Structure 1
Amino acid sequence: MFLFITIATLCLLLAIVGDLIKLLQLSKIFRCVYGSASSDELQQELKEARERVERVRRSSAATSHYTYTVKLMRAENELKTIQSKLRSEGNMQRLKGASVELFVSYLLKGIISLVLFIITLRNRYTPVIIFHENISFEPIGALLSFPTGVPNAISVPFWVLSCNSAFRLIVNALKGK
């Protein structure tokens, strides 16, 4: 009974580990912990650039129209440059967070798969479930119990395969794929 529940639980975790990682929002945690100081500097520069644009707009009466236009264009170009840098910095942070989520997801999937493989290898001759003689699985009974050789039994490799397939189908159906 222990193998039955352990294998089913591990297969369920394997099927939903990607969604669990997204639910935990590791990318946001990564951004908070490893947020860049350059982003704070860019925010400060953005604030200063906006103030410069406002100063130029307020001082229009003191200068000629040409000088005012040139100063305003330079200040606006500087503002746009800083906004562009800030956007690219945000995109890089999101990309790093997504790569962390992807790495952790595949790492957990690899670990769970390795554990399932070891369980299967160590217990391949142990039946997970043995049914009463009244229940006949013929003509596939030998396949279900392979390599245990016990009649009316479900082997560990077949149980891992069936649980994994069933949970993937269920998760995909719930997602709507």
Structure 2
Amino acid sequence: ELGTPDGRGRFNHFQNGSIYWTPQTGAHPVSGDILAEWSAQGWEGGPLGYPTADEIATPGKPGKVQGFEIGAMYSSANGTHAVLGMIMGKYGELGWENGWLGFPKSNEVPIKDNGRFTEFEGGNIYWSPGTGAWSVENGPLFDGWKSVGYEGGRLGFPISDKFDIPGGVQQNFQFGYITVIGDKTEVH
């Protein structure tokens, strides 16, 4: 058993995984794909911090998830990816992996204005300090936003999720909005 570099906890490596402990989180095993990705991201010194739960199978879909101090690590057919902070909060609002977003397909990616996004099977979640976390669903809304340069273009970051309007849906952005009515997508 060894002390962790930050002095907060203890760990022990075994043939098929590791166990990490802190007084705040308790002892939790980390193994397999989740251990490999957590290691690649810097162990407890990386963006996730210490494990706070044991790995469990995801309900309703083949995969697994493990909770950490700052987010969760998901392992599925899309690979093993972390979902962090406010993006994780929005992911939870939308039903986790059983919602329309499905499993994550990327770790967080830094973008302009200290923003971040995570790619999922059904769309992406974008976050910036000035706008918060909002989802953009794959399909006409995403394609319309892409056509004007995503967050770096004239619309900026999303400031809402999509919502119903008469005959279609709308999504608001910092500097405009997109509507999809029938098969017609308009950027305003």
The normalised TM-score by structure 2 is 0.17
Larger Rg: 1 or 2?
Answer: 1
Q: Determine which structure has the larger helix proportion and give its number.
A: 1
The normalised TM-score by structure 1 is 0.17
Kindly indicate whether structure 1 or structure 2 has the higher relative contact order, using CA contacts under 8 Å at least 6 residues apart. 1
